[in-house]
Amino acid sequence: WMDEAMIATIHGWCQRMLLEHAFATGGLFERTLVTDQQDLIAETLRDYWRKHCYGRPLAEARCIREVAASPQALQDKLSEWLKRRDAQLCYQGQPLDGACLQTALATRIGQRAAEEAARGLWREGREGIEDQLRVLRPNLNGRVHGSAKPEGFEQVLDEIAAWSEGGQAPTQLPKFARGAFVFKKNAPVQTEPEHPVYDALATWQQSLQATDANNPNAPPSLEACLLAHAAHWLAEELPRRLRLRAEMGFDELLSELAAALTPADDSPNAQTQAAALAAT
């Protein structure tokens, strides 16, 4: 009898069970095993992009593009999850289903608006602000503000000016926010300058700190929410498309057989079918 025993991998055995017991497992009687689903995943994510990203307001679309600039970029970020589509995406130990996406977008739009407000104030009052800071420079902590030498401080001011025109924020910029100035210990001046731009910078920095990953009370990041939203949609849409094509992948082999063996339906008929399947 050993000569007649079947030798199979776990996936091969699952496939045989699903095909031989298609009625009991709620599957199709003829299905093709697809070992490479990359093209179907890419196509499905392109449809996700069209359905959930294209039609958004411009401000939301810009925020999404900060996280993933294209469907391919989104697929790359989901690459680890795609290897285990039964896994639950989490953020700081809490499961995510993507419902937080709209809130995260609103938060990011608010942060962008706060930055633009600060940019505008600096741009409009640049000459007066820079003169004010040049006078204050000898009293500032040189390491924190890049103000140890006049020429170095001028470079910092030029970088901030470039930021006000839409460039990258220099590392010293947050230290020019209200409440963040650092003075030399024995400097004669210990008072922060007066201008609305310093308050605007503080508002912007506070909005960023509220969502900083190092903040234990921070809500899920925009990236985490977008990935969870896409993963939740893909987890429902991909099996549906596979069934329409009469195909299944390795994940479907395991998940469908597991669902048949442990049905959510408590009816006697479902439990009887599950018991019969387990006995084979």
Q: In the structure, what pLDDT confidence band is assigned to residue 223 with cuts at 50, 70 and 90?
A: very high
Q: What is the pLDDT of residues 137-150, one digit of tens each?
A: 999 999 999 999 99
pLDDT at 92: 80
CA distances from 73 to 45, 65, 67, 245 (A): 10, 10, 9, 26
Q: How would you classify the pairing of strands 90-91 and 32-33?
A: unpaired
C-beta neighbour count of 28 within 10 angstroms: 14
Token pair, residue 11, equals: 């996936």
Q: 106-127 pLDDT, tens per residue?
A: 999 999 999 999 999 999 999 9
Mean pLDDT of 205-219: 91
pLDDT band, very low/low/confident/very high, at 206 (cuts 50, 70, 90): very high
* Global confidence as pTM: 0.76
Q: Residue 120: what pLDDT?
A: 98
For the cut 70, the answer to whether the pLDDT of residue 65 exceeds it is yes
Out of 95-99, 189-193, 263-267, pick the least confident.
Answer: 263-267
In this prediction, residue 16 carries a pLDDT of 64
Mean pLDDT of 14-21: 60
Between CA 219 and CA 182 the distance in angstroms is 30
H-type helices in the chain, by residue range?
A: 10-20, 22-25, 38-52, 58-67, 71-77, 79-82, 101-124, 126-136, 142-145, 150-164, 196-210, 222-244, 250-261, 268-278
